[in-house]
Amino acid sequence: MKTPWWFLSQNLMAWILIPVSWIYYLFGKIVFLFRKKNPLISRRPVICVGNILAGGVGKTPVVRAIANRFDSPIVMRGYKKNNKTGNIGDEATMLARSGLIVHVGNRRVNISLLNNQDENTPIVMDDGLQNPTINKDIKLVVFDEGLGFGNGLLLPAGPLRQPKKVLKNVDAIIVIKNSKKKKDLKLPDGVPVFYATNQTVSPYDEDEKLVAFAGIGYPKKFFNSLQNVVAKRAFADHYQYTATDIENLFILAEKKGAKLITTEKDWVRLPIEIRDKIKYARLDTVIENTFYDWLKEKIDYANFKKTS
């Protein structure tokens, strides 16, 4: 679905949905406590990269950066698996195209299988911060400065999966810098905060007219990262493009005298025969070096605890 318009500001719709948020949160808390029994404890350190907002913060590029740095396999659920992405999901396909080893499906089962390998590198778990069935050795939360906490309310009144207070229990927070910083992004004291920068690399020259389309959590972020965009089309997150959608996009681009451009995550969901006709803008995420020094120490300590 598309990100609801009321997620980014407190308005009448958000206030109307607050009672539903309380019910949703209490139900989720009960399920969490029920599932918390006998969590899997991995032989190899598990680094969980998650968020407390419902999608769109830039978590997957952070996962890619960490996995590349430590030569780590990735375990993930594989959201919206379909035959266009080899039945593994768009995010998994994007990560696999980077040369990373990606295991899709039941994360608990896949971590158990990885523990049977004669390897000691850490395992990176994409999402799952709210999954109590797996013990995480290192818990990281990703934020985008431009989104902050959204309107600060819990689902469905706002984008928060959990209350802000859970941030006190994570090991570190990675904040992706944004020129339009949310003023209310107040993070807890005592939790390390590291900063990252995103760079969108367009395959086109700056003077090329572009028609941009995206089916991600917050497509406006993608549109704003490009230059000379003459038309925009936003679709639901993880949207599966139809032949009619693609035809209409080509008609629009021809009308505007422009080239079509999308995100890498959207591009892998396009039919194979169309991909050579539409280009994507690559998103590079660079995390400050002090983060990797800190993370290496945490990994070494986790390994020490597991072998002592």
Give the pLDDT confidence score for residue 123 in this predicted structure. 98
Spell out, as residue ranges, where the chain has pLDDT lower than 70: 1, 79-87
The owner of tokens 């949207």 is 239
Phi, psi of 98 (to 5 degrees): -85, 0
Give the pLDDT confidence score for residue 180 in this predicted structure. 81
Give the pLDDT confidence score for residue 34 in this predicted structure. 87
Give me the helices (H) in the chain, please.
12-16, 18-35, 59-70, 90-96, 107-115, 219-224, 243-256, 264-267, 272-275, 289-307
* Alpha carbons 77 and 42: distance in angstroms, whole number: 17
For 37, counting Cβ atoms within 10 Å of its Cβ (0-12 exposed, 13-18 middle, 19+ buried), the class is exposed
* Alpha carbons 275 and 267: distance in angstroms, whole number: 7
* Alpha carbons 77 and 89: distance in angstroms, whole number: 9
Treating both helix axes as pointing N-terminal to C-terminal, what angle do 59-70 and 289-307 enclose, rounded to 10 degrees?
Answer: 60
**Domain locations along the chain:** 12-197+286-307, 200-284
Give the CB-side neighbour count of residue 198, counting CA atoms within 13 A: 28
Radius of gyration of the chain (CA): 20
> Which CATH code of 1.10.8, 3.30.360, 3.40.50, 3.90.870 fits the domain covering 12-197+286-307?
3.40.50
The owner of tokens 């419902």 is 54
Give the pLDDT confidence score for residue 85 in this predicted structure. 47
Give the pLDDT confidence score for residue 1 in this predicted structure. 67
* Alpha carbons 93 and 65: distance in angstroms, whole number: 15
Give the CB-side neighbour count of residue 174, counting CA atoms within 13 A: 32
